[in-house]
Amino acid sequence: MKYQNLITVFCILLGICIIPAMAADSSTAIEGQLGVTNVAIDPGVFMYGDSGTVKVTVTNTGTTPVAIARAKLYSNELDVMGDENYGSVGSIGPGNSLEFTFTITADAADGIYYPLFYLDLRDASSLRYRVPVKVENTGLSVSVTDRPDAFTSGKKEDVTIMVGNPRENTVNGVVITPVTNGYETTETSHFIGTLTPDQAADATFSVTPYMETPMEFTVHYRNGMNDHEVTTSVPVTFGIDRKQAETVLNNIVITSEGDHYIITGDVTNAGLEDAKSVVVTTGSPATPVDPYRSYVVGALEPDDFASYEVTFSAEPGTTEIMLITSYKDKDGNLYSDQISVPLSSAAVPDKGSPGAGGDLPVVWIVVFVICAAVVAGVIYYSWKKK
């Protein structure tokens, strides 16, 4: 009898030792059949103040269902929202997956943070997984790649803006908008769209400044679902464009013709751009008269030249008149230049010819005197010989 009691006590003690061991093995088995199979973070890299999502996918690779009590995402540096939605998850069947999405806000300095994804298993232990989240506050790079050397008030010019993405993640919705302040633009905005890491795109705006205030261009873009913007400015200083067309008048000859004058010469384009609709005429105190009140030369390419002829009249006593040249650029902007021309340089008709009058009587008088002297000499010689 005593021997049987000892066997019973031994079996009880053995059961006490074996049952916990079996329970521990079951827990390990249940925990081992769950795994984090995917993590998606949007945006890929946060900027300061950005909000985004962390989506964790858990898959049951075992053959039995696993009951899940709750899921949470813990972080001391980032603000986490949405984990209250997973206070009671339920179970995940064999071969199935569950996605857990949390909203986080990156109110933290640049760096890499590791919030903890925690899955509380109802009948066993838990699943823990660290999710790396990067915060970097570098924005898009904006630069001016082309602009005129100097602006001219009221003249249309092209300004090219380049936008580059130095970030590690893609940004989208990139739009360049000019901030009109003292100038006009043909384009109200330029849509670029998506910029992948290290990608750049540019946009050209036709601008017409009216005052010397900086032109501003704002680049709007989205990092995930967060709006951002960056602004660049272009200083405006009025001056002479070194590339623009430049008309030069040469070989100027003024000839007096009755009651008016004639000016002839050459006009040359000494600039680097085409001069269109080139016209030469005279200005006050000269009065343009027919047949060439103004002379239309037409278009002149750089280093090209053409002849002109204009006619005008001037009041007696006028010492100089203005010779005016005008042309247009490719955008229709009108330019003009003028030089003064002294009338003292005007050539007069040759009055020394026989048919010109004026000095002709003097010539004939001289001829007459010579002839008379010859005749007188002949008469005197004949008389003396007698």
Both structure tokens of 115: 């919030």
pLDDT of 26: 42
Label each residue of 317-382 as H, E or C.
Answer: CCCEEEEEEEEECCCCCEEEEEEEEEHHHCECCCCCCHHHCCCHHHHHHHHHHHHHHHHHHHHHHH
Rg (CA), the chain: 49
Three-class DSSP category at 95 = coil
Asked if the model's pLDDT at residue 303 lies above 80, the reply is: yes
Q: Look at residue 132 in the predicted model and tell me its pLDDT.
A: 96
pLDDT for res 22: 39
Q: Which of 348, 241, 376, 261 is nearest to 309 (CA)?
A: 261
Provide CB contacts within 8 A for 376, sequence distance 6+: none
Count, residues in the chain: 386
pLDDT, one tens digit per residue, over 180-236 is: 778 889 889 999 999 999 999 999 999 999 999 999 999 999 999 999 999 999 999
Q: Which helix (H) or strand (E) holds 23?
A: helix 2-32
Q: Which pLDDT value is given to residue 27?
A: 43
> Residue 145: is it exposed, middle or buried by C-beta count within 10 angstroms (0-12/13-18/19+)?
exposed
The long-range contacts involving 314-321, CB below 8 angstroms and separated by at least 24 positions, are: 314/261, 314/285, 314/286, 314/287, 314/343, 315/285, 318/285, 318/286, 318/343, 319/343, 319/344, 321/282, 321/283, 321/284, 321/285, 321/286
The answer to whether 353 and 314 have CB atoms below 8 angstroms apart is: no
Say which residues have a Cβ less than 8 Å from residue 83's Cβ, sequence separation at least 6.
Answer: 71, 72, 73, 102
* Tokens (6 digits) for 288: 């343009």
CB 329 within 8 A of CB 152: no
Of residues 74 and 148, more confidently modeled: 74
pLDDT attached to residue 366: 65
Asked if 220 and 313 touch (Cβ cutoff 8 Å), the reply is: no
Q: What is the pLDDT of residue 33?
A: 82
pLDDT at 372: 75
pLDDT confidence tier of residue 384, bands split at 50, 70 and 90: low
Instruction: Supply the pLDDT for residue 379.
Output: 73
The answer to whether the beta carbons of residues 77 and 27 sit under 8 Å apart is: no
End-to-end Cα separation, the chain, in angstroms: 214
Lowest mean pLDDT among 93-97, 147-151, 222-226, 290-294: 147-151
Distances (CA, A) of 195 to 49, 110, 133, 177, 313: 21, 22, 21, 17, 67
Q: Which of 218-227, 238-247, 248-257, 262-271 has the lowest mean pLDDT?
A: 238-247
Distance of CA 291 to the CA centre of its chain: 49
Which of these ranges, 145-149, 152-156, 164-168, 174-178, has the smallest mean pLDDT? 152-156
Between 373 and 308, the higher pLDDT residue: 308
At residue 87 the predicted structure's pLDDT band, cuts being 50, 70 and 90, is confident
